Structures are given as C-alpha cells and as structure tokens.
Amino acid sequence: MPRDSFLHGVVVLAALALSAGTAAGARVDEARPLMGTVVEISAEGADATAARDAIEAAYREMGRLSDMMNHYDPASVVSAINDAAGARAVRVPPELMEVLAMARRVSERSAGAFDVTVGSLRGWRFRSGDTRLPAPEEIAAQLPRVGYRKLRLDRAAGTAFLAERGMRIDLGGIAKVYILHSGLRALERRGVARAMVNGGGDVLASGSPGARPWRIGVRDPRAPQQLIGVLEIERGFVVSSGDYERYFVKDGVRYHHILDPRTGYPSAGPRGVTLVAQDMEAVNGLSVAIMVLGRDRGMRLVTATPGLDALIVDRDGSLWMSPGFAARLRAAP
C-alpha cells in the first residue's frame, strides 16, 4: 500500500477545478501525488519565482502532516495510537490533537454518524478488482469496538488513548481537508493572495473580497462523468462525499467505502453530498456524516449550521439544494 494512501473512507470525487483565466501577476500551477490522490495548487502572485517557492513550502507542510496522520505507515503517530489501543495513551503533536478534537465535535454534532474509530472495521477493502466481503461474524465481532467516545483525548497532557484493544482510528474522513487547509495557509503566509488547492475533488480557495471568483465544477453522482453545474467562490471550501468512486458490485449489490458506524456496512443514504462554506469547521467530516444520516436528517443538520450550503443527491436520484447553494450554482459549460 503506498504510504500516502491513508485516506480510506474519503471520496475523491466531486469538484473539478475549472480555469478562471489569469489575474494581474503570475499564475503558477502544480500537481503532485499526495494522500493517495493528486493535489493541485494554483497560486497567483506578482512574481512567478515567489509563487513557486510558496508552492514548495505548501507541499512540504502537507507532506509532513500526511506522514503524521497516515495509518498505513507503521511509523506514523496515528499508527502508534492504534498499536497502543487498550494499553496506554500516546503523546500526539498539536496538529493531530486538533484533527482528533475536530473529529469529536463532528461526531457529537452528527450523533455518531461520523466516527473515526470506524477504522476498527478491518475487513472491508474496496481495492481495484477485490470484491471480497467481510463475513457477518467478523463485522459483528468488530462493531463493538467502534465508538468515538472510546477515543479519549487529554489536551492538558497532549495524549490520545483508545480504550479497547483492537480499536483503530482512520482519519480518512477528516484529515485531508485539514491538511489541504494547512497547505493553503502556507501559501498565504508567503504572500500568495489568491490561490486554490484541489485535493482529489475537495477544493479550498483564497482571494480578496470582490475578486474574480474561482469556478468549481460539481459532478453528478448519478452520472459521474457529467457536471450538475459550476460553483463560483471567492474563498472558502467545497467538500464532497459520494458512493461512486470507491466501490464494487457483488451479486448485484453495490458496496461503497463510506461505512455506517452503527451497522458496520456501507451507508444506505444519499448517492452524493457537496458542501460549501467559508469555515472549515462547518464542512469537515459533515459530508460523510450526511451520507450516513440520510437526506432528511442531513437537511436538518445543514440548515442548523450557520454559513453552510449543500447539495444532496438522494438514493432515488432526487436533488435537494439549500437556497444558498442554488444561488451559487451556474450552468455547466
């Protein structure tokens, strides 16, 4: 398994960055493999050399955090937490503590529909050509280990502890956006005023108020080669989850990689969810939670979250958009 492919459980799908032309100054575009996907950066500045230096700094920071949070790497801090499950607490860096605390808050907001301890369900694979199913007895044995409250965080001591042996955390549903945001902040610290970071479909953008917006195409989960439309944002987050990027069909049944922590099986909710907000906390992890909760509870969660707009494509193919999302959406080219 490649060392950066720790994002088991993250959908790499929904937004395709579309060119918005060039602004005053130089624009530099770069794409590199990271976190099991391709991370693209577009940075605009007065000087191309300075923009390239900023991009290098952003990739270094994202790579550092990816290594820290990669549960496939036995040397990572996340692997250390998993190895010590049921035995001892592990000291964690501040960045990882921040991600774990964010995961706890999303779990509480979603009544456990999002849960990083879903990594305890170890029988699912979703690898190309691999259609093996875990045995029902295996799922039944591992399911009691899933429970976000059993991940105990001690901020004062700077430690994380999994309460039971055999438990594992998988940060696939929440680490990527945090890491991409750290890359965007690295660009901003080096004077890049307008930038976009696209990590396999999760898009983060920065720009001055009133500046030309970035244009982001939103895929249709019912026909992934087509676009539902194009979003225009000056800055903020566009984050998606869906059931059509990592899946297999066996005996006529479609199995996808977003697992329901309550059942141990793939979620039976919407086909796809796309969220838009200015604030990372409003979107990160929530698209996965809505995939588990279903459309109606997902709609209520969206409307209860200030500053959050959403598109939910339900299992029957019907669409629900918040008024803000509908106002942002433009026809696809």
The answer to whether 90 and 139 have CB atoms below 8 angstroms apart is no
| Each residue's pLDDT tens digit, 169-181 | 999 999 999 999 9
Q: What pLDDT score was predicted for residue 25?
A: 67
Strand partners, 30: 41
Q: 256: Cβ–Cβ under 8 A, 6 or more apart, which residues?
A: 126, 243, 244, 246, 247, 266, 267
Interatomic CA distance for residues 198 and 106, integer angstroms: 23
Q: What pLDDT score was predicted for residue 222?
A: 83
The answer to whether 103 and 69 have CB atoms below 8 angstroms apart is no
| SS3 at position 282 | helix
| Each residue's pLDDT tens digit, 17-63 | 444 444 456 899 999 999 989 999 999 987 899 999 999 999 999 99
The residue-averaged pLDDT of 296-310 equals 97
Phi, psi angle pair for 169, to nearest 5°:
-105, 145
Q: What pLDDT score was predicted for residue 1?
A: 28
Quote the tokens at residue 302: 């969206």
Interatomic CA distance for residues 165 and 46, integer angstroms: 54
Mean pLDDT lowest for which of 21-25, 192-196, 199-203, 259-263?
A: 21-25
Phi, psi angle pair for 150, to nearest 5°:
-85, -5
Residue ranges covered by each domain of the chain:
1-333
Question: Model-level pTM?
Answer: 0.91
Residue 319 exposed, middle or buried by CB count within 10 Å (0-12, 13-18, 19+):
middle
| Each residue's pLDDT tens digit, 104-151 | 999 999 999 999 999 999 999 888 788 999 999 999 999 999 999 999
Please state, for a pLDDT cut of 70, what percent of the chain lies above it. 92
* Number of neighbours of residue 32 by Cβ within 10 angstroms: 12
The answer to whether 279 and 246 have CB atoms below 8 angstroms apart is no
**What CATH number labels 1-333?**
3.10.520.10
Look over the chain and give the mean of its residue pLDDT values, rounded to a whole number.
91
Q: Which amino acid is at 216?
A: I
Q: What pLDDT score was predicted for residue 247?
A: 87
Number of H helices, E strands in the chain: 9, 17
